[in-house]
Amino acid sequence: MSLALLFPGQASQAVGMGADLQPYGNVLALADEVTGLPITELRLHGPLERLTATDVAQPAVVAVSLAALDVLRSHVPELSYAAVAGHSVGEYAAYVAAGVFDPRTALALVHVRAQAMLAACQAVDGIMAAVIGLDLEPLRVACAEASRDGSSIEVANMNAPGQLIVSGARDALDRLSDRAKAAGARRIAPLNVGGPFHSIYMRLAADPVARVVAAAEMRSPRVPVVLNASADVGVSPDQLREELVVQVYSPVRWIETLDRLQTLGCDRFLEVGPGQVLAGLVKRTLPSARVASFGSLGDLDAARAVL
């Protein structure tokens, strides 16, 4: 059986992330250069409110993930993995791990994505929230009932059994809360993100992303990449380009992504980047899998244990 690498998305950011990775490689500094933003200063010292803003959080999370990948490769020369996947913006780091493009290209594309999504967020009072304890179909029904008068809410991330994410207008979420709890949801918790990602409100961001993705050089992946929007295996550059556009406004099918990785023979999973969100989702979705997270040098022994 084999190892899959997983790369986290927005909401994994934290002040101080990647601090002990600074001496290794130049990917962290590259984020500042490519974006023109003080990513390093905000990543190390905050404030958290600014680090959480979409234009900063997305390149910061991807930069730390790529730096962690570089450190992992340097400390574990025998590193071998059979497949990769990334959650939302983490898909860009997954493409780098699969050899589709280099870190500079990834960060340049993420910068455009983040700017476009920030602009889309400013057009709506939007929010995302975790819905704990409710199945997918009852939640979809509740979302449909709560969406009205041009104000919508929809399922955005299928993260793990019993843990689904909704995204949309704030007033629609207010209406959804009562309906979801009446249907059996135990808790609804707002997420630490900058807007209603992976919803219809992000279609405004698709065209800017499509333009830069179309112009980017991409190669066929060296290992299978399981895609967010379809949970299919990406093979051709054209398929990979299309994925980066549609995933901006499409649900992240993470449960199906992990199931697909399992069918590819993966029984070990290593989350590469800040936080431990994806490791937790693996434990809930594939209880028999071995899983660890690697986001700092202190995680090295735990990472080696699953390699």
Q: Compute CA 49 distance to the chain's CA centroid, rounded to the nearest angstrom.
A: 19
List, in order, residues 6 or more apart from 279 with CB less than 8 Å away. Answer: 6, 269, 271, 291, 292, 293
Question: pLDDT class for 24, splitting at 50, 70, 90?
Answer: confident
pLDDT digits (tens, 9 = 90+) for 69-120: 999 999 999 999 999 999 999 999 999 999 999 999 999 999 999 999 999 9
Spell out the domain ranges in the chain.
2-121+200-306, 126-190
Question: pLDDT class for 1, splitting at 50, 70, 90?
Answer: confident
Q: Compute CA 42 distance to the chain's CA centroid, rounded to the nearest angstrom.
A: 20
CA distances from 202 to 67, 170, 244, 250 (A): 28, 15, 13, 9
pLDDT at 271 over 80: yes
Report the pLDDT value the prediction gives residue 215, as an integer from 0 to 100.
97
DSSP 3-state percent helix, strand, coil across the chain (nearest 5): 50, 20, 30
Average pLDDT, the chain: 95
pLDDT at 23 over 90: no
- Least Cα distance to 132 among 163, 160, 156 occurs for 163
For domain 2-121+200-306, the CATH class is alpha beta
Question: pLDDT class for 8, splitting at 50, 70, 90?
Answer: very high
* DSSP reduced 3-state for 300: helix
pLDDT at 123 over 80: yes
- Least Cα distance to 274 among 43, 76, 35, 37 occurs for 43
CA distances from 296 to 20, 21, 221, 259, 300 (A): 6, 7, 26, 27, 7
Report the pLDDT value the prediction gives residue 194, as an integer from 0 to 100.
77
Report, as residue numbers or ranges, the catalytic residues. Answer: 88, 198
CA atoms of 191 and 99, how far apart (whole Å): 31
Task: Provide the whole-model pTM.
Answer: 0.96
pLDDT digits (tens, 9 = 90+) for 220-265: 999 999 999 999 999 999 999 999 999 999 999 999 999 999 999 9
Question: Regarding the domain with residue range 126-190, which homologous superfamily does it belong to in the CATH classification?
Answer: Malonyl-CoA ACP transacylase, ACP-binding (3.30.70.250)
Q: Compute CA 119 distance to the chain's CA centroid, rounded to the nearest angstrom.
A: 19
pLDDT at 25 over 80: no
Report the pLDDT value the prediction gives residue 250, as an integer from 0 to 100.
97
CA atoms of 253 and 258, how far apart (whole Å): 9
Residue range 164-173: mean pLDDT, rounded = 96
CA atoms of 282 and 288, how far apart (whole Å): 9
What ranges in the chain are assigned the alpha helix state H? 27-35, 39-45, 48-52, 54-75, 90-97, 103-121, 136-146, 170-183, 203-215, 237-246, 254-263, 277-285, 300-306
- Least Cα distance to 9 among 80, 112, 94 occurs for 94
CA distances from 2 to 92, 241, 266, 267, 283 (A): 22, 27, 4, 6, 17
- 2-121+200-306 matches 126-190 in fold: no
List, in order, residues 6 or more apart from 74 with CB less than 8 Å away. Answer: 24
pLDDT at 304 over 80: yes
CA atoms of 269 and 283, how far apart (whole Å): 10
